[in-house]
Amino acid sequence: MSGLVVIERPEDGVALVRINRPEARNALSFAVREALHDAFAALGEDESARAIILTGDAQAFAAGADLKEIAEISAVEAMRRRTDQLARPLRECPKPVIAAVQGFCLGGGLEIAMQCDIIVAGEGAQMGLPEIRVGVMPGSGGTQRLTRAVGKPRAMLMVLTGQMVSGKDAAAMGLASLCVPDDKVQEEALGIARRIAALPPIAAQLIKETVLAGADAPLSTALMLERRGFNLLFATEDQKEGARAFIGKRKPQFKGR
């Protein structure tokens, strides 16, 4: 694993993936994207990780693509960078992923955050898709995920002007799950991850799959997916443990079986 991305284990069941390029505000160089690919490919298969936090540092979650790498590339070279494929392990990670956002979260950084399941934003965070200011446009899902998150009118304003919004405004418009003081972002993200890690992981995986698959499906199809997931969970040991613990008024011990 490259030092550009560091995996930490703050608690049992929780993995923390830290983008570690502070000298460049955690800009997403090709090497950083490769390291994120490897980190999420590994954690997606790691049964000991039940919830994952993705973060940067107090100055930046990730301030976008590394412009020094792409300023002079051709269209063919841009295609060959395969950034969409590199993001697949994060996008398709079966574990719940929480983005802990402080400071700048711009361009590709916001696109990565929007691929997470929960976004905890600091009040001082600056979030946006400013690609138009350097003559390009979002290219890793930004136009589509932002529009689905906040609606066309607000998304158009942001992508056509490059406007940034605060963490508070991001939460108000539905871009972030919640906003907390900057010095509480990591603590809040860890608390959420801790709660998820204590719950049955198979249920968490099926909930995530159903929400994502059903989001763009007809309601009838989405409801069918939900019912099938609901029924399937009755085949797990964790469902029996949860029911027996509730009836017995004790704390359940979920094992992911």
Task: Clarify whether 111 is annotated catalytic.
Answer: yes
Q: Compute the C-alpha angle 106/112/114, nearest 5°.
A: 90
* Residues 225, 211: Cα–Cα separation, whole Å: 9
Structure tokens at 30: 């090709």
Q: From the candidates 131, 187, 188, 209, which is the catalytic residue?
A: 131
CA distances from 110 to 103, 156, 198 (A): 11, 15, 28
**Strand intervals (E) in the chain:** 5-11, 14-19, 51-55, 60-62, 97-101, 104-106, 118-122, 126-128, 164-166, 178-180
Task: Clarify whether 209 is annotated catalytic.
Answer: no
Q: From the candidates 111, 187, 226, 241, which is the catalytic residue?
A: 111
List residues with catalytic annotation. Answer: 111, 131
